[in-house]
Chain A
Amino acid sequence: MVLHRDIGYLVTSLLLAYCVSGLALNHADLWNPDFVIQKREVAVPRRDSSADLSKEEVAALDRLVGEAEHRVVDRPTADQVKVYYEGATLHVDYSAGKGLYERVSRRPIIYQVDVLHKNSFKPWRWVSDVLALALIALSLTGLFVLRGPKGLGGRGWRLVALGTAPGVIALALHG
């Protein structure tokens, strides 16, 4: 009982972090959980090639998106140019006559919990292993916290079976 309670206290914050990032990553196909990317489309004069772009024309692009100075200019294709700024880029497609300005910033909280969840920080995997073991201990000790009709021997086993059912049904449907 005491062991169950104290392990519970120990893992609470990390478990919440993993739950939040789990929710975020579950829907990673619908959004970018790690970053907020502010996008703004700008109109540029059409031209056939980006090869002959002058310094003045690049400076005009800087002004167009409100940047004081660029770091690098590069050409992904013959009719496109990408200008790099501190924390932002401007990708211009001259044949389409438009550019896409993007500013990247980390999504608060979600980014940080994702870093932990994805083991982006390599030594963290040892902590997540310990957390996993602690959760196994928590689950097993939780089965025996209560005794009597509300314990595992009573309605407890029915609830355990109920909790197992969604996984079994999903696997059966998946084939």
Chain B
Amino acid sequence: MAARLCAPRLAVRAAWIAALTMLLAIVGCAKKPAPAAEAPVAEKKTGVLLVSHGSRSATWRKALEELGERVRGPILAGGKVKEVKSAFMEYTEPSIATRLKEFDRDGFSDVVVVPVFLTVSPHPFDDIPTIMGQKTDPQSLETIKVEGIERYTPRARVHLTPLLDFTDLLQKNILRRVKSLSTDAAKEGLVLVAYGDETYEKEWTKLLEKVAAHVGEQTGIKTSAHAWCGHIVRYDPKKTTAAIEQVLKTRERALVIPVLVAHDEHFQVKIIGDGIAAVAGSKEKVAYRPDAILPDDNLDQWVIRATMERATSLEAGGGLVQR
């Protein structure tokens, strides 16, 4: 009897000891936000950090890593930049903090940060500068904390380049992809599907309308519509369906183009794919390829040009330090 009572008591004691040990381990592991390295920077040494959103999709990450590999050689060959690295804002390593620590450790005085984002949104405007300690947007600050994203203020000065929509890159990219799907422009309409953003919906709409107008001028595909597939519509495929159906009211065939930086199964296959599948007669009426903006030689050139321009301006003593 005594032995039978003893075993559960031991189990409970063991559980208590385990719980307390774990608590101590957690307290021990808890880290304060990492401060910048303190070693002084002797000379000007510029690095480049390509920052993209990040995704759980390995295909998506690979596309961005490959972009980094492609531009690395030409940027380094220019002689003004000593290192090129890539980082993801969330989900996976290497994170922005990890890379900035590496730049600090290696004694870089300046880091040119290239946000590989389509257009203005809270990510490049608020979140990334907040992660880098350059801004303290209250919402970003709280969100990155709850999402477990590390904040790090580098010792190196940080310089952000403009976003992609400052060039005509997107127009050329979409035009090329539309032409590859189009068979009879007179009977076709265009549907652009992009992530979208609540705060800057006006700017996103303008951008897509500009792209659609350019495609219209170049191909004769004058009818167009757009849909969001991101958080703004709670990832709802019905928005894609609605945009396609709008185009099909006046045209026989809809060309659906994902205006997304890279391929992510969740977006190109699940959300947009489901949206297309819900259209009656979609197999005959909808032309779709689950591709993305990347790879695009123009984008590579844009990254190279943007970083070289900023690096040259830094060497000449210019360059606006991002807050």
Does A pair with B? yes
Mark interface residues in B51-72 (1 if CB within 8 Å of A CB, else 0): 0000000000000000000000
- CB atoms of B15 and A122 under 8 A apart: no
Q: Does B39 contact A (CB under 8 A)?
A: no
Chain A residues closer than 8 Å to B203, beta-carbon distance: 77
Given contacts A120-B147, A130-B18, contact A89 B138 (CB under 8 A): yes
Q: Which residues of A contact B (CB under 8 A)?
A: 2-3, 6-7, 10, 29, 34-35, 37, 71-72, 74, 76-77, 82, 84-89, 91, 93, 102-104, 106, 111, 114-115, 118-124, 126-127, 130
Query: Roughly how many angstroms separate A117 CA and B148 CA in the complex, as a whole number?
Result: 12
Please give the distance in Å from A27's CB to the nearest CB on chain B.
Answer: 11
Query: Roughly how many angstroms separate A77 CA and B204 CA in the complex, as a whole number?
Result: 12
Closest to A35 in B: B142
- CB atoms of A130 and B22 under 8 A apart: yes
Closest to A86 in B: B138
Chain A residues closer than 8 Å to B199, beta-carbon distance: 91
CB-contact partner of B120 in A3, A34, A76, A103, under 8 A:
A76
The 10 closest A-B pairs by CB, nearest first: A2-B8, A123-B29, A29-B234, A120-B148, A104-B138, A123-B26, A6-B12, A87-B138, A76-B125, A104-B139
- CB atoms of A121 and B11 under 8 A apart: no
CB-contact partner of B146 in A29, A37, A118, A127, under 8 A:
A118
- CB atoms of B136 and A71 under 8 A apart: yes
Query: Roughly how many angstroms separate A87 CA and B104 CA in the complex, as a whole number?
Result: 29
Given contacts A77-B120, A88-B138, A122-B148, contact A10 B29 (CB under 8 A): no
Closest to B322 in A: A74
Closest to B19 in A: A10
Given contacts A72-B135, A122-B148, contact A3 B26 (CB under 8 A): no
Query: Roughly how many angstroms separate A91 CA and B146 CA in the complex, as a whole number?
Result: 23
Chain A residues closer than 8 Å to B25, beta-carbon distance: 123, 126
Q: Does B145 contact A (CB under 8 A)?
A: yes
Number of inter-chain CB pairs below 8 Å? 80
Query: Roughly how many angstroms separate A34 CA and B142 CA in the complex, as a whole number?
Result: 9
Please give the distance in Å from B233's CB to the nearest CB on chain A.
Answer: 10
Please give the distance in Å from B270's CB to the nearest CB on chain A.
Answer: 13
- CB atoms of B135 and A122 under 8 A apart: no
Query: Roughly how many angstroms separate A35 CA and B137 CA in the complex, as a whole number?
Result: 14
Query: Roughly how many angstroms separate A122 CA and B25 CA in the complex, as a whole number?
Result: 12
Query: Roughly how many angstroms separate A113 CA and B199 CA in the complex, as a whole number?
Result: 28
Please give the distance in Å from B199's CB to the nearest CB on chain A.
Answer: 7
Chain A residues closer than 8 Å to B145, beta-carbon distance: 120
Q: Does B2 contact A (CB under 8 A)?
A: no
- CB atoms of A72 and B146 under 8 A apart: no
Q: Does B91 contact A (CB under 8 A)?
A: no
Chain B residues closer than 8 Å to A121, beta-carbon distance: 26, 30, 148
A-B residue pairs in contact (CB < 8 Å), sample of 16: A34-B143, A35-B139, A37-B139, A71-B136, A72-B136, A77-B200, A85-B138, A87-B138, A89-B139, A93-B202, A103-B138, A104-B139, A104-B142, A123-B25, A123-B29, A127-B22
Q: Does B323 contact A (CB under 8 A)?
A: yes
Query: Roughly how many angstroms separate A120 CA and B151 CA in the complex, as a whole number?
Result: 13
Closest to A119 in B: B148
Query: Roughly how many angstroms separate A127 CA and B21 CA in the complex, as a whole number?
Result: 11
- CB atoms of A102 and B139 under 8 A apart: yes
Chain A residues closer than 8 Å to B234, beta-carbon distance: 29
Chain B residues closer than 8 Å to A84, beta-carbon distance: 135-138
Chain B residues closer than 8 Å to A123, beta-carbon distance: 25-26, 29-30
- CB atoms of B29 and A120 under 8 A apart: no
- CB atoms of A3 and B138 under 8 A apart: no
Query: Roughly how many angstroms separate A42 CA and B25 CA in the complex, as a whole number?
Result: 49
Q: Which of B1-45 contact A (CB under 8 A)?
A: 8, 11-12, 15, 18-19, 22, 25-26, 29-30
- CB atoms of A34 and B146 under 8 A apart: yes
Chain B residues closer than 8 Å to A87, beta-carbon distance: 138
Please give the distance in Å from A156's CB to the nearest CB on chain B.
Answer: 22
- CB atoms of A115 and B139 under 8 A apart: no
Query: Roughly how many angstroms separate A71 CA and B136 CA in the complex, as a whole number?
Result: 9
Chain A residues closer than 8 Å to B30, beta-carbon distance: 121, 123
Query: Roughly how many angstroms separate A124 CA and B30 CA in the complex, as a whole number?
Result: 10
Closest to A85 in B: B138
Please give the distance in Å from A124's CB to the nearest CB on chain B.
Answer: 7
- CB atoms of A114 and B146 under 8 A apart: yes
12 extra interface residue pairs, beta carbon distance < 8 Å, beyond A6-B8, A77-B120 = A2-B8, A34-B142, A35-B139, A72-B323, A82-B125, A85-B138, A87-B138, A88-B138, A89-B137, A111-B146, A123-B26, A124-B26
Closest to B148 in A: A120
